[in-house]
C-alpha cells in the first residue's frame, strides 16, 4: 500500500490534465510541452513508480546523487535531465543518458563541456540558465548578458544551446511570476531576432515548478520541472 503509490499516480494524472488544458487555451504552442519529474532526494522505488505511470523524463540536480540512481533497474529507461549547478570537475561522470543540461550558466562550463565533448565525440544539449529575477543566490547569466553568451557559444561545436531556462521567484504574486516567465519568452525571441540563435534550434523554454507551472505554461513553457508536486514534499 502506501500513499505515495496512489499519490504519484494521481499527481501525474492531475499535472498532465492541467498541461493539456493550458496548451489547448494557448495558441503559441506548436507542440506539447514536456513534463520533467524532478527526482532529487526521491528514492528509486518511487522513481520506478513514476516510470510505471508513464513518466519518461526525470531530472537530478547533483551528479553524485544521479550516479547512485542511473544504474538502478527501472521499468523503463529514463531520459535524464540535469538541472543543478554543475562543477566542471564532475563532467567526466556524465554520460549520454543525460539528454539535456538545463543549467549552463557560465563560459567556463561551456568551455569544459566542449572539451569533454571533443574528448568523447559527443554533442551535449543544453539550455542557458538566466537569472531573470536578479536574485544573488541564484545561478544564471543576467538577461543583458544572454546575447554575448550565445554569441560565444557558437564557437563551441560540442554544445548545442537549445533555449533558455529560469527559476521563478519564491513567494511572488502570480503577476510577478508571470512577468518573470514572459521576460524569458521575450528574451528567447529577441535572441533569434538579434541573430545570436537560430529559430529552428533555439526553441526551448524550461520554466515552471510545482507552484508556478500553470503560469509558465500559459507563458509558453516548453518544459516544466515538477518535483514535490509529483513526489510530495522533500
Ligand atoms: C528542485 C527543483 C525543481 C522542482 O521544484 P519543486 O518545487 O519541487 O517542483 C525545479 N527546478 C529546479 C532547478 C530545482 O532545483
- pTM as predicted: 0.95
Ligand 1 center from residue 231 Cα (angstroms): 11
Is residue 106 lining ligand 1, measured as CB closer than 6 Å? no
Q: How far does the centroid of ligand 1 lie from the alpha carbon of residue 37, in Å?
A: 9
For residue 202, give Cα distances in angstroms to 92, 124, 142, 170, 187. Answer: 26, 14, 18, 27, 11
Query: pLDDT confidence of 176, banded at 50, 70, 90?
Result: very high
Q: Is 11 exposed, middle or buried (0-12, 13-18, 19+ CB in 10 A)?
A: buried
Residue 6 has pLDDT above 80, yes or no: no
Q: What is the atom index within ligand 1 of the atom nearest the CA of 40?
A: 1
29 CA distance to ligand 1 middle (Å): 23
Which pLDDT score, from 0 to 100, does residue 26 have?
Answer: 59
Tell me the pLDDT tens digit for each residue of 181-215. Answer: 999 999 999 999 999 999 999 999 999 999 999 99
Which pLDDT score, from 0 to 100, does residue 22 have?
78
d(CA 8, CA 29): 27
Ligand 1 contacts CB of residue 208 (under 6 A): no
Best mutation site among 59, 101, 164 for ligand 1, i.e. most ligand atoms within 8 A of its Cβ? Answer: 59
CA dist 132 and 138 (Å) reads 10
Nearest atom in ligand 1 to 38's CA: 4
Amino acid at each position: 500500500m502506501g500513499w505515495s503509490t496512489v499519490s504519484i499516480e494521481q499527481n501525474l494524472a492531475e499535472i498532465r490534465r492541467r498541461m493539456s488544458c493550458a496548451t489547448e487555451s494557448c495558441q503559441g504552442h506548436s507542440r506539447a510541452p514536456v513534463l520533467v519529474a524532478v527526482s532529487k532526494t526521491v528514492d528509486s522505488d518511487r522513481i520506478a513508480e513514476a516510470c510505471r505511470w508513464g513518466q519518461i523524463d526525470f531530472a537530478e540536480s547533483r551528479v553524485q546523487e544521479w550516479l547512485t540512481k542511473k544504474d538502478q533497474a527501472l521499468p523503463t529507461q529514463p531520459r535524464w535531465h540535469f538541472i543543478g549547478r554543475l562543477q566542471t570537475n564532475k563532467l567526466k561522470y556524465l554520460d549520454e543518458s543525460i539528454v539535456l543540461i538545463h543549467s549552463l550558466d557560465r563560459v567556463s562550463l561551456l568551455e569544459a563541456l566542449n572539451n569533454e565533448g571533443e574528448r568523447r565525440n559527443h554533442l551535449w544539449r543544453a539550455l542557458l540558465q538566466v537569472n531573470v529575477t536578479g536574485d544573488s543566490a541564484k545561478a544564471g547569466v543576467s538577461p543583458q548578458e544572454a546575447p554575448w553568451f550565445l554569441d560565444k557559444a557558437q564557437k563551441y561545436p560540442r554544445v548545442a544551446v537549445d533555449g533558455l531556462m529560469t527559476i521563478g521567484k519564491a513567494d511572488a504574486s502570480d503577476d510577478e511570476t508571470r512577468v518573470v516567465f514572459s521576460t524569458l519568452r521575450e528574451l528567447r525571441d529577441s535572441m533569434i531576432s538579434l541573430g545570436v540563435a537560430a529559430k529552428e534550434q533555439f526553441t526551448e523554454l524550461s520554466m515552471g515548478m510545482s507552484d508556478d507551472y500553470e503560469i509558465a505554461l500559459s507563458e509558453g513553457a516548453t518544459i516544466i520541472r515538477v518535483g514535490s508536486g509529483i513526489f510530495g514534499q522533500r
